[in-house]
Chains A and B, each alone.
Chain A
Amino acid sequence: SQQGEEDPQALSIQEGENATMNCSYKTSINNLQWYRQNSGRGLVHLILIRSNEREKHSGRLRVTLDTSKKSSSLLITASRAADTASYFCATDEGSGNTPLVFGKGTRLSVIA
């Protein structure tokens, strides 16, 4: 089943602007995670938000979670050209070995 669908699929902004990416999911979750991937490279874990949390910050990243709407958002403030990457949300149902389920990702381009 589809889970963790991000929008927009692609986002292009100027350096210094904020970037907001959204993720929707279908099932109950234990936590939701955001990952970054530079083109052709590995997945880098950015932030994890648990189902009982509503907002979390890490540096220039701000993640919100609305379990009633089954949605999350990732905000990158004061973007830099180096933030150019694909960003994926992944949901974790937290039951035993249930694996992370990834969305299709948002391709962010930050133009200097």
Chain B
Amino acid sequence: EPEVTQTPSHQVTQMGQEVILRCVPISNHLYFYWYRQILGQKVEFLVSFYNNEISEKSEIFDDQFSVERPDGSNFTLKIRSTKLEDSAMYFCASRPTGGNGYTFGSGTRLTVV
């Protein structure tokens, strides 16, 4: 069964450093999403991406965040200057056009120290 792949599974970074979280969505899916989950809390929407541009973003997705689809297969989330409160599990998801079926990746656990 097709999967959404996320790398790395766990990243530890110093506060103020930039991190890039990577995702490979399912190949025929056209909508991509990033969500995050702070430990013990709900899964929160960050951003959606369609047709090579951001289609919707939440108030969490401020100027320190950016997304990119650099090569037609990868979908990345960049956090420019990490803060302690960015520590969370980050999930990538994709879904096909006209379909309701979201597929989530297994997540990247980001720890900012």
Which chain A residues have a beta carbon within 8 Å of chain B's beta carbons?
30-31, 33, 35, 40-45, 48, 50, 88, 90, 92, 94, 96-105
Q: Is the interface of B mostly helix, strand, loop or mixed?
A: strand
Which chain B residues have a beta carbon within 8 Å of chain A's beta carbons?
31, 33, 35, 41-45, 48, 50, 55-56, 89, 91, 93, 100-107, 109
- Whether the Cβ atoms of B100 and A41 lie closer than 8 Å is no
Task: Knowing A48-B101, A102-B44, A105-B42, say if A97 contacts B106 (CB, 8 Å).
Answer: no
- Whether the Cβ atoms of A97 and B31 lie closer than 8 Å is yes
How many Å from the CB of A3 to the closest CB on chain B?
Answer: 10
- Enumerate chain B residues within 8 angstroms of A48, measured Cβ to Cβ: 100-101
Q: Which residue of A lies closest to B47 (CB)?
A: A99
Task: Knowing A41-B106, A45-B103, A45-B104, say if A100 contacts B45 (CB, 8 Å).
Answer: yes
Task: Knowing A42-B107, A43-B91, A48-B101, say if A98 contacts B43 (CB, 8 Å).
Answer: no
- Whether the Cβ atoms of A92 and B109 lie closer than 8 Å is no
A56 to B20, CA, bound (A): 39
Q: Which residue of A lies closest to B91 (CB)?
A: A43
User: Would you mind naming 29 contact pairs between A and B with Cβ atoms under 8 Å apart?
Assistant: A31-B100, A33-B102, A35-B104, A40-B89, A40-B109, A42-B105, A42-B106, A43-B43, A43-B91, A44-B104, A45-B102, A45-B104, A88-B42, A88-B43, A90-B43, A97-B48, A97-B55, A99-B33, A99-B35, A99-B48, A99-B56, A100-B35, A100-B45, A100-B93, A101-B45, A102-B35, A102-B44, A103-B42, A104-B42
